[in-house]
Structure 1
Amino acid sequence: MVLSASSVHLLHHHLSSRTTINLLSLASLSTTIANRSLKTPVPKPDQSEDHTEPPITNTHNDDYFAAIHHVSNIVRRDFYMERTLQKMRINVTSELVYRVLRSCNKAGIESFRFFNWARNQPRYQPTTLEFEELIRTLGRTRNWETMWKVAEQMKNQGFTITPETFSLVIESYGQHGLVDRAVEVFNLMKNFNCAQTTEVYNSLLSALCEVKNFQGAYALIRRMVRKGGTPDKRTFAILVNGWCSAGKLKEAQDFLEEMSRKGFNPPVRGRDLLIEGLLNAGYLESAKGLVRKMTKEGFLPDISTFNSLLEAICKSGEIDFCVELLQDVCRLGLCPDKNTYKIMIPVVAKIGRMDEAFRLLHRLIEEGVKPFPSLYSPIIKSLCKRGQFDEAFSFFSDMKGQGHQPNRPVYTMLIKMCVRGGRFVDAANYLVEMTELNLLPRSESFDMVTDGLKNCGKYDLAKRIEQLEVSQKGF
C-alpha cells in the first residue's frame, strides 16, 4: 500500500507498531531517496571523525528525514530488520546508507546487519564513507572482531582506511584499557598502506596515558620525532594532562623544557599547557598559584587558557578572586575576548556586583562587540531580584534603543520577574510588546499575567490579555 505524501508526517507516530511497515510511503520514499544521491563518496584525507554531511539539495527535507528516521528506527528496534526493509522496496543509495549508519552509531551489530542488507540491494555499491562510518560504530561499541572483518572487506575491495579512522579505533581500545591491542592496531597500519600521522600518534599516546604508562608515552614521542613527525598542541597537552592528573607537575615541566631544547616548542606556551593540565586534573589551587606567579613576573597566560581558569574558579564560587585576577591581567595588557565577558558578566550580576557587571558590559561595547541578549539578560534579572524594577526597565530600554534587540527568552524572563515582583501591568505591557515583535509568548506567560491581573482586580486588562492569547494562538 502506498502512503500519500501528505501522510508522511504520521510516520513518527507509528514507529513502534509492526503494522506500520506496510503503511510506509513506498513510492514516495523511493523517489525521495533516489533524488538524494551522494556526490562525493570518498572523504578528504584531513576529514575528522565528525564528517561533514553531504549537501542537501532536495526541497522535500521533511519527507526525506522522516524516511531516514523511520529506517533508522527499524534498524535499531526490529528483530526481523532485513525482512522488514525488503518489504519497503527502498531505492538504496550511498547517502541513505551513510545517514542511517550515522543515526545508528550506538547500535554496532544492528548497523552491521543493515550494511550487509544494503550491499545485497541492486545498483548499490558501498563507498569509503559508509565503510568507515561502520568501522567507527563497531569500534565505538566494542564489536572489534566484526570491525576487523569489515576492515578486511574494505581492504580486499581496494578501499583505503584513513588515518582518522585508525585513530578512532586506537582510542576505542585505549579507553577500555586495552593498550596492547591499541599498539597492535598502530603497528598494523602499514598492512593497510595507511600513514602514521600525528593524529594517530596522539591517539596511541592518549591510550598509554590512560593507563599511566608515561614512560611508554615519552618513548612514543621520541619515536615520532625520530620518524620525522611533528608534535602538535594535542601531543603536548595529552602528556602534560596525564602527568598533571597523576600529580607529577615536575615531570610535566621537565618534559616541556626538554622538548623546547630539542626545538619542538608547543604551539602554545608551556605554562599555559601546565595550567590547562592542572585544571583538567582538578588541581584548581595549583593552577591559581601558577597564574599568580606568572602575573607577578610580568607574564600573561594565553586568553583561552585564562578563560578556562576563570570558568573553573567561578564554578568554585570565588567570584571576587576572578574579578581581581581579571583586573590584574588587564593592567598587564591582556585583552579579554567575547568568551571572557560571557563568563564574567553573568556571575558578577548574580552575586549583586552590579557596578562591575555594568563596567564589563560597557567595556565590551567600547571594544566594538555587540552585546547579545544572553549577556545583558543576567543584569536585568539581578536588578529585578533586588527590587530595582525601574532601573531594570530603563536598562532594558537602553539596550533596545542601542539596537541590541531582545529575544524571546529575555522577554519571558522579564515577564516572570515582573509577576514575581507584583508588577502585573508591566508584565502585561511586555507581553503585548512581544507579540508586536512577532515573538509568540509561552502559554505559561499568558497564564501568569492573567492570573496576576485578576488577583489585583484588573479584570478588563486580564480579559484583553486573554483575547490576545486567542488571537495569537488561533483557538
Structure 2
Amino acid sequence: MDKVQEMLKDMEESGVKADCVTYNTLISYFSKAGNFQTAHAMMRKMIRDGLVPTVVTYGTLIHAYCLNGNVEEAIKIFRDMGVRSKVTANTVIYNILIDSLCKNRNVEFALSLMNDMGVKGVRPNTNTYNSIFKGLRENNWLEKAFELMDGMTEHGCNPDYITMEILTEWLTAVGKTEKLKKFMQGYEVSAPSHGIAATR
C-alpha cells in the first residue's frame, strides 16, 4: 500500500492525473487479494479526486466479495450502486450475483434478480440461464425450469453445451425426455470450443 501511495504521489507531481482506469485497476487488485479495506479506501479516494465509480468499479468489488463467499456484502454494493450512485448493473454483474446465490442455494433470490433484469431492461444471456438451471435442478423445481426453457426460446437465447448437459442429465432422470426433445428442436449445440450455431 505504501508503494501504491508513493506511485500515486509521483503521478500527481509529474502532472499525470489518476483516472478511472488507474483506480479500477487498484480496486481490482486489492479486492481480489481480499484486502477490501484498502479497495474501499481507493474507491473513496477516487470519489475525492472528482471521479465517478463506474459499472466496472462496482463489478470488480461485487465479483471479489462473491469469490470470497460474502454474497451479502456483494448484494449491499449492488443495491448501493443503483440507489446512491445511479449506476445500472449490466448482465455480467447480474450473472455474478445469480451464480453465487444459486451456489449458496438461494434460488428464490436469484430468480428475483432475473426478474429485476427484465424490469431494468438488462438482457439475460446463456450464462444467466445456466446458473439458474443449476439452482433449479438442485431443488428439482421442474415447472420453473420449463417456464425458463420456454422463455429462453422466445427470447432467442441459444443454449450451449452446458445448458444441454444440465437439462439432459436432469430431465432424463425424471422422465421428461419429451420436453427436452421439444426444447432441442431448432438448435444445433456445438462442442465446447466452437460456440453455438443456431439453425433456426
Higher relative contact order (CA 8 A, sep 6+): 2
Q: 2:101: which partner in 1? A: 208
User: TM-score if structure 2 supplies the norm length?
Assistant: 0.74
* 1:240 equivalent in structure 2: 133
Aligned-residue RMSD, C-alpha: 3.6
How big is each residue's C-alpha offset from its partner over 1:139-195, in whole Å with a ceiling of 9 and x where there is no partner?
A: 111111111111122122222222133222112111222111011100111323322
CA–CA distance in structure 2, aligned partners of residues 110 and 237 of structure 1: 43
Q: Distance in 1 between matches of 2:108 and 2:114?
A: 10
Matches for 1:241-260 after TM superposition, within 5 Å: 241-244=134-137, 246=138, 248=139, 250-251=140-141, 253-259=142-148, 260=150
Separation of aligned partners in 1, 2:153 and 2:169? 28
Q: Deviations over 1:30-89 (max 9, x none)?
A: xxxxxxxxxxxxxxxxxxxxxxxxxxxxxxxxxxxxxxxxxxxxxxxxxxxxxxxxxxxx
Match of 2:188? 302
Change (3 A) 1:300 1:228: closer
Deviation, 1:213, is 1.0
Q: Which runs of 5+ in 1 are unaligned?
A: 1-108, 279-284, 312-336, 339-475
Residues 296 and 178 of structure 1, relative CA distance in 2, 3 Å threshold: closer
Aligned with 1:126 (options 5, 9, 18): 18
Q: Which of 169, 179, 187 is matched with 1:286 structurally?
A: 169
| Alpha-carbon separation, structure 2, partners of 1:254 and 1:111 | 55
Runs of 4+ in structure 1 off by over 4 angstroms are 261-264, 293-301
Change (3 A) 1:115 1:138: farther
CA deviation after TM superposition for structure 1 residue 133, in Å: 0.7
Confirm or deny: 8 A CA contact 1:170 1:182 kept in the other structure: yes
Change (3 A) 1:277 1:171: farther
Q: 1:226 to 1:299 in 2, by over 3 A?
A: closer
1:261 shift after superposition: 5.3
* Residues 1:277 and 1:168: Cα distance change in structure 2 (over 3 Å): farther
Deviations, residues 192-222 of structure 1 (Å, cap 9, x unaligned): 3322222222222122123121111111112
Once the two structures are superposed, residues 329-372 of structure 1 have per-residue CA deviations (whole angstroms, 9 ceiling, x without a partner) of: xxxxxxxx79xxxxxxxxxxxxxxxxxxxxxxxxxxxxxxxxxx
AA in 2 matched with 1:286? E
Equivalent position to 2:86, from 193, 196, 208: 193
Answer yes or no: is the 8 Å Cα contact 1:209–1:238 preserved in 2: yes
CA contact (8 A) 1:210 1:242 kept: yes
2:56 maps to 164
Q: What is the rounded CA distance, in whole Å, between the counterparts of 1:286 and 1:261 in structure 2?
A: 20
2:13 is paired with a residue whose SS is coil
Aligned residue number for residue 198 of structure 2? none
Aligned partner of 1:72 in structure 2 is none
Alignment gaps of 5+ in structure 2: 196-200
Change (3 A) 1:152 1:115: same
| Structure 1 residue 150 corresponds to structure 2 residue 42 | yes
Q: Contact 2:91–2:123 at 8 Å: present in 1 too?
A: yes
Alpha-carbon distance change, 173 to 266 in structure 1, aligned in 2, over 3 angstroms: farther
- Kept in 1, the 8 Å contact 2:136–2:144? The answer is no
- Size of the aligned set, in residue pairs, is 189
Mapped to 1, the partners of 2:96 and 2:103 lie a distance apart of: 10
Secondary structure of 1:192's partner?
coil
1:183 paired to 2:81: no
Q: Distance in 2 between matches of 1:303 and 1:263?
A: 14
2-structure distance, mates of 1:277, 1:110: 48
Structure 1 length-normalised TM:
0.34
Q: 1:161 and 1:276 mapped to 2: Cα distance?
A: 38
Indicate if the aligned counterparts of 1:208 and 1:216 stay in contact, CA closer than 8 A. yes
Distance in structure 1 (CA, Å) of the matches to 2:20 and 2:181: 54
Identity of aligned residues (%): 19
Relative distance call for 1:197 and 1:124 in structure 2 (3 A) is same
